[in-house]
Amino acid sequence: MEKEALIISTNKKLKTDFYIWYGFLIALGIFSFKTNYPFPKLNDSLAINLQQVIILCLLGGIPGVLIYAKNKIKRLVEIPEIERRLDQYKRYVHIRQTVFFVLGFLILFIQVFTMMGSALMLFAVIIFLCLFITPTRSRLEAETGVNLPVNKSMPTADPHNAGFEVESDKDE
């Protein structure tokens, strides 16, 4: 029972953190795309260079952090203590989420100070991709290798366990 409580609390913490940051990012996005406040604009050469750096960070950061987290999470099954395994998992999930949210903040920075034309599309991509890294209990159990005991019920499709006699195709 302690194992289940630990999983539930870890899952709750991860979901709470994710939805707080996700809501904050969406609120900042609405503010930065809907505001008419005259923010100081950067000069054109600096704006173009900054936009290129942000796009390169997107192209390298998203696949990079997904591969990094996947490789690190695969090794979690080797850790025998569940508490330590869940702490490590929490750390890797926070790293993955942090990269996505920082990239979202950088896109909003570009929007506010350079008025980049494709910033809305890039921000929408980040918001959409964040939905793929949403923490769920099934993902937590699958990625950490923590399997809770399930009530074993026999499937009714198995004729041996359902009480039916199975015809034999043997020639006698």
Report CA Rg, the chain: 24
Note whether 69 and 96 are within 8 A (CB).
yes
Domain-by-domain residue ranges, the chain?
Answer: 2-144
Give the pLDDT score at 155.
Answer: 53
Report how far Cα 102 is from the mean position of its chain's Cα atoms: 14
pLDDT category, 1, cuts 50, 70, 90? low
Euclidean distance between CA atoms 71 and 73, whole angstroms: 6
Look at the chain and count its residues: 172
Q: Residue 44 in 3-state DSSP? A: helix
> For the range 130-139, what are the long-range contacts, defined as Cβ-Cβ under 8 Å and sequence gap of 24 or more?
130/22, 130/25, 130/97, 130/100, 130/101, 130/104, 133/18, 133/93, 133/96, 133/97, 133/100, 134/15, 134/18, 135/11, 135/14, 135/15, 135/18, 135/93, 136/11, 136/15, 137/7, 137/8, 137/11
Q: What is the mean pLDDT of residues 137-149?
A: 82
Task: Return the minimum-mean-pLDDT range out of 71-75, 103-107, 168-172.
Answer: 168-172
Torsion of CA 69, 148, 22, 67, to 10 degrees: 10
- The pTM assigned to this predicted structure is 0.77
% the chain with pLDDT above 70: 85
